[in-house]
Amino acid sequence: MAILKRAVVYVLSAAALTQSAAFVTPQGSAPASHVHLMASTDDAAVDMQTREARILAPLSAVLTASLSLGYAGPANAAPVFDSNMRKNFPGAMSNSAIALRVASTLKERGYTPSNTLFGNSLCSDEINDTSESLVNDFQNKLQVGGVFNLGGLGGLPFVGVSGMGAFLSHCPDSGKVFIVFGPHVGVSKDGVVGKVERIGRKGPSTSCGAGIGAYKAIIGDSSGEDKSFLGTKDFQEDYIIAKLRDRLDPVKDQEVSNESITFVTNKMYDLVWEMLRSQVNSFTNKPGFWDGVSEVTLLGGIVVNRGHGADGIPGGEDFYQPLMLKSLTKEGESDIYGEVFGDFPALAAPHRAAKYV
């Protein structure tokens, strides 16, 4: 029954999103491959009716059958949660819908349980490590064993070059590597971005504490001093504060709000991507690396947490706003976002076209 319910979630989420005003097809063309890992431009638009039919047709029978069994759809959170999530993170889909799309494409590209090394660079917050988390769902759909945890506070890969090297060295012979990464943010049942109801606690608490804590430290520090992050007492948070400080000018003088927390979360995504890109490049550009690895695929986005069983909230799956999907091989870089999320091209435009120093 659980598998059936997840299939229905996928159908309903796909149907709802294809009708959303957030997915207005932009003008543009598919980007060319690059030798080095870089940001890229918009995807070529995919015909909406063709794409929708391809997504929905195989599962329409499942939906019909599930309704006859009395299951009318996923256990939706409060309408306020849903509307505010859609407003601030347009195109976010349930974990199972994301994992189903991506895992299907990876399997078509030759990813198997015996040749795939799976890693994640998500925040170490326990809310990202539940039975219905994105990572757990990928494990099940790809049928891989363990997961190498690259991420520390905020999802930044604080394992560093040494940790990344250890991870990549575990790749099966001539195998493939898959990494999912990004920051996370809560949305409470009342629609407050940056808050989430946790099990056993009265009222919502902060998510992500690292990113929002850094934001509040920055706006509360009138000196503008770039404090050292070289100490060992709180170096991860100090690093985030130092790197985030110069990126928050548009919201430094604003009251903390859904919009400002969304802005900070998107800047946290940039931090995660920049650090991850640097670490991955340090190995993929080395002579001989591709002798032992055939492909590296990177999925980047933002995890949107919702309440998990607290205060009478049903709980269930979180959501994920996909912003990037790239495949790296010896021949260069390919943008496969359009292949998987081409019906929703507006999602990634601001991020994948971004230029980094």
The per-residue pLDDT for 59 is: 43
User: Does the residue 259 lie in any domain?
Assistant: yes
The per-residue pLDDT for 291 is: 95
Separation of CA 269 from chain center = 9
* Tokens 């976010």, located at residue: 92
User: Does the residue 357 lie in any domain?
Assistant: no
The per-residue pLDDT for 309 is: 67
User: Does the residue 44 lie in any domain?
Assistant: yes
Q: How many residues does the chain have?
A: 357
pLDDT by residue, tens only, the chain of 357 residues:
444 444 444 454 444 444 333 333 333 333 333 335 654 433 333 343 334 444 444 444 343 333 333 322 344 446 888 888 889 998 899 999 999 999 999 999 999 999 999 999 999 988 888 888 999 999 999 999 899 999 999 999 999 999 999 999 999 999 999 999 999 999 998 899 999 988 888 888 898 989 999 999 998 864 555 555 555 578 899 999 999 999 999 998 888 999 999 999 999 999 999 999 999 999 999 999 999 999 999 999 999 998 876 666 767 789 999 999 999 999 999 999 988 987 764 554 544 443 332
The per-residue pLDDT for 355 is: 34
The per-residue pLDDT for 221 is: 67
* Tokens 């347009």, located at residue: 90
The per-residue pLDDT for 10 is: 44
| Overall number of domains in the chain | 1
Q: In this structure, how many other beta carbons lie within 10 angstroms of the beta carbon of residue 349?
A: 15
In DSSP terms, 319 is beta-bridged to: 94, 304
User: Does the residue 50 lie in any domain?
Assistant: yes
User: Does the residue 300 lie in any domain?
Assistant: yes
User: Does the residue 131 lie in any domain?
Assistant: yes
The per-residue pLDDT for 16 is: 42
Where in the sequence is the domain holding 167, given as residue range(s)? 2-352
User: Does the residue 46 lie in any domain?
Assistant: yes
The per-residue pLDDT for 37 is: 60
User: Does the residue 100 lie in any domain?
Assistant: yes
The per-residue pLDDT for 253 is: 86
The per-residue pLDDT for 280 is: 96
